Amino acid sequence: MTERLPPGARGPTGAGGTTRSGRAFGLGALLVVAAPALTGCGPERTMLSPVSTDAGRAADLWWLMFWIGAVIWTLVTAATLYALYRRGRGQQDPLARRRWENTPLIWGGIVLPSIVLVLVTGVTVDAMRRTDHRAGPGTMVVQVIGHQWWWEVRYPERDVVTANEVRVPAGRPVRIELTTADVIHSFWVPALAGKVDLIPGRTNTLWINTDRPGVYEGQCAEFCGLQHARMRFRVVVAPEPTFRQWLAGQEQPATEPADELAVRGREVFLSASCVHCHSIRGTAEVGASGPDLTHLASRDTLAAGIMPNTKGHLGGWIVDPQQVKPGARMPGSDLSPDDLQALLAYLGSLE
């Protein structure tokens, strides 16, 4: 006789169990598919296409750990499936037999992890040692100072200050000296070098050494407050002559305004609040809490790499920075449209 269940009752493998595991599986699959998007790493900021020997070492480490992880994951999954298969067929769990009891524990729980951890630690320490270079005769020093939420960039050998763009010559070792004006930040240009923190009261160093000219995207990699995600920068690697030309230009004081509109723009700049926070060398050199604007027009981006340096974006930023970057340490302004146009003409002339 067949046993009948009352309507609505569930058998031992009832629908409840199936849908629950089905849902868990669906969620798992979704996470796997979404993972690359959730990391927030676009193709322009990946450490897997290195263009320097140092970044190559970091990428090699990444791949080593990836493959070790892949092998371990495969082994553990195979063992789990095997145990389930034995149980499903009503066989005794092989791991439960006395003779076996401690063997998998000793090998899988102690010996294997120890080998893996010692290996990975050794390889990592070696890579760290190799990327910590010594200053030589050709070394160039660039100081980078972190601010909420932008980067001050200084060339101490010349009297050059800029922001959010680190220009370096190709084929020469560059020592980046990292400090911070407020909280902890982290300097990360994945294609060029590892990641080093900017810590209050300390100077950390990071080396950039590549012979491949290009523009490499960087990002603050240590949560530092509201606009941490919009604290970007770029490293521009240029051939030596191009770099020298740029540096010589940056050394000059600000260009004198060439027409009446720009002259008026300079008046606006000097009479508005701007001078309390910004310097323009040769014009007003008091403000230091915001980026130096002496050669603003020579930069490609504005407000820590979040938008292109165009007249429209610049105007929008000056009128209402809080709209663009809420929390940014710059207040909005209530300039008249004429004053704003004059100011934009002046700032746009600061090549």
In three-state form (DSSP H/G/I as H, E/B as E, the rest C), the secondary structure along the chain is CCCCCCCCCCCCCCHHHHHHHHHHHHHHHHHHHHHHHHCCCCHHHCCCCCCCHHHHHHHHHHHHHHHHHHHHHHHHHHHHHHHHHHHHCCCCCHHHCHHHCCHHHHHHHHHHHHHHHHHHHHHHHHHHHHHCCCCCCCCEEEEEEEECCEEEEEECCCCEEEECEEEEECCCCEEEEEEECCCCEEEECCCCCCEEEECCCCCEEEEECCCCCEEEEEEECCCCCCCHHHCEEEEEEECHHHHHHHHHHHHCCCCCCCCHHHHHHHHHHHHCHHHHCCCECCCECCCCCCCCCCCHHHCCEECCCCEECCHHHHHHHHHCHHHHCCCCCCCCCCCCHHHHHHHHHHHHCCC
How far is Cα 164 from Cα 218, in angstroms, rounded to an integer? 9
For residue 163, state whether it binds ligand HEC (rule: CB under 6 A): yes
Of 166, 191, 274, 350, the residue at the interface with ligand HEC (CB under 6 A) is 274
Q: CB under 5 to 8 A by kind: which of Cu ion, ligand HEC, none does 224 bind?
A: Cu ion
* 196 contributes a contact to Cu ion by CB under 5 A: no
Asked if 183 touches ligand HEC (CB under 6 A), the answer is no
Half-sphere exposure of 279 (CA within 13 A, CB side): 14
Q: Residue 205: beta bridge partners?
A: 177
Choose the contact partner of 262 out of ligand HEC, Cu ion, none; CB within 5 to 8 A by kind: none
Burial tier of 329 (Cβ tally within 10 Å: 0-12, 13-18, 19+)? middle
Q: What is the contact mask toward ligand HEC in residues 195 to 234, using x (rule: CB under 6 A)?
A: --------------------------------x-------
- 295 is a site residue for Cu ion (CB under 5 A): no
Residue 224 or residue 318: which is nearer to Cu ion going by CB? 224
Nearer to ligand HEC, 127 or 144 (CB): 144
Closer by beta carbon to Cu ion, 148 or else 349 = 148
Name the minimum Å distance from CB 179 to Cu ion: 13
Decide which of Cu ion, ligand HEC, none touches 185; Cβ closer than 5 to 8 Å per partner kind: Cu ion
Find, among 72, 58, 156, 161, the residue nearest to 108 by Cα: 72
* CB closer to Cu ion, 220 vs 268: 220
Q: Which residue in the set 196, 220, 280, 296 belongs to the binding site for Cu ion (CB under 5 A)? A: 220
Q: Is 231 in the site for Cu ion (CB under 5 A)?
A: yes
What does the per-residue mask of binding to ligand HEC show for 308-347, with x meaning CB under 6 A? Answer: ------x---x------x--xxxx-x---------x----
Residue 273 within binding range of ligand HEC, rule CB under 6 A: yes
304 makes contact, choosing from Cu ion, ligand HEC, none, with CB < 5 to 8 Å by partner type, with ligand HEC
CB atoms within 10 A of CB 286: 9
Q: Which does 36 bind (CB under 5 to 8 A by kind): Cu ion, ligand HEC, none?
A: none
- 279 near ligand HEC, rule: CB under 6 A: no
The answer to whether residue 302 forms part of the interface with ligand HEC (CB under 6 A) is yes
Minimum Å gap between C-beta 276 and ligand HEC is 5
Number of residues in the chain: 351
Q: Minimal CA–CA distance to 266: which of 276, 255, 250?
A: 255
Number of chain residues interacting with ligand HEC (CB under 6 A):
29
291 in contact with ligand HEC (CB under 6 A): yes
Instruction: Indicate which of ligand HEC, Cu ion, none lies near residue 273 (CB less than 5 to 8 Å, by partner kind).
Output: ligand HEC
**Interface with Cu ion includes 189 (CB under 5 A)?**
no
Binding site for ligand HEC (CB under 6 A): 149-150, 163-164, 227, 272-274, 276-278, 289-291, 293, 296, 299, 302-304, 314, 318, 325, 328-331, 333, 343
Binding site for Cu ion (CB under 5 A): 185, 220, 224, 231
